Amino acid sequence: MSEETRSEVYAELAAVGPYGVHPGHALITMVEPHPGHEYAYNRWYEDDHYYAGAMAMPWMYAGRRWVATRDLQLLRYPEKSAVAQPVTTGCYITTYWVTDGRYDDHMKWTVGINKRLNRDGRVYQDRTHVFTAFQDHEATVYRDGAAGPRDFHALDHPYAGLVVEVIDAEGPEQRGELLEWLRARHLPKLLVGSPSAMVTIFRPTPLPGDRMSYVKQVEGVDTRLTLLWFLEADPRECWEEYFSGLDEPVAEGGWGRVELVAPFIPTMPGTDRYVDRLR
């Protein structure tokens, strides 16, 4: 007996609503597998959840998974972080793009599918969500102008590294000023000659009330910005020169406080590479 799929509705849904390629929204999820569960978690996420809990869902059209081995974790700062306690927590992060204008549609599906996955025993419980949030795209700043990949290519282009920066402004108005400073003045200057091809800037959105209980409500909805730096070099090769002091100009200018600067490298899908280097 075949399962009911209501296939007749799909043609109707495809005929309405936005369907551009711009990443209007992102899911950014940083997770810590519990000690002793690193291999099992890695296989569950890559073999099942990355697809069934994310990429197979409507309007989530690109994804990339990244890892911080112990040496990369030890480069993180500040030591006292509002994002991760201790700041080394969260050795995996996955980034997904969601089509602009399709956040509400995607959220309806993702809440429904995750309830189903939980019911069917397909959610790995021995993990902690350190920094998980859907986020709205605010700006992308490019190093090379119109040349090179666009932000909608970023999760498919073979970038060698990712640096995640989280900044908290004092309030909503100050966040707007921080965003303008970053977009128009600060980032264009930093990107010149750097190994980073682009920086995407997002602001977090609150999770729905019927979210899964193991994912905490998003903090800093009115005050926080998340920056993703896409690197053409291994972050270890350029950390000291380009990334070790990102917090200083933010503090000196009174723009807010940098709560996390964390480097990652891409995982090798389908393998357990780097799992033995997390601790």
pLDDT (tens digit per residue) in 220-259: 889 999 999 999 999 999 999 999 999 999 999 999 999 9
Separation between Cα atoms, residue 251 and residue 243, nearest integer Å:
15
Q: Which DSSP string corresponds to 168-191?
A: E-SSHHHHHHHHHHIIIIIHHHHH
- What CATH number has the domain bearing residue 103? 3.30.70.100
How does pLDDT run across 100-121, given as a tens digit for each residue? 999 999 999 999 999 999 999 9
Tell me, yes or no, whether 4 lies in a domain.
no
Task: Indicate the pLDDT class of residue 207, thresholds 50, 70 and 90.
Answer: confident
Range of the domain at 220: 18-266
Q: Is residue 8 part of a domain?
A: no
Beta bridge partners of 120: none
pLDDT of residue 209: 65
CA distance 28 to 97: 9
Helix (H) or strand (E) holding 196: strand 196-204
What whole-number distance in Å separates Cα of residue 81 and Cα of residue 98?
A: 28
Tokens of 159: 């970038």
Determine the distance from the C-alpha atom of residue 238 to the mean position of all C-alpha atoms in its chain, rounded to a whole number. Answer: 21
Span 207-222, mean pLDDT? 69
Tally of structural domains, the chain: 1
Q: Is 117 exposed, middle or buried (0-12, 13-18, 19+ CB in 10 A)?
A: middle
Residue 1 pLDDT greater than 50, yes or no: no
Residue 10, domain member (yes or no): no
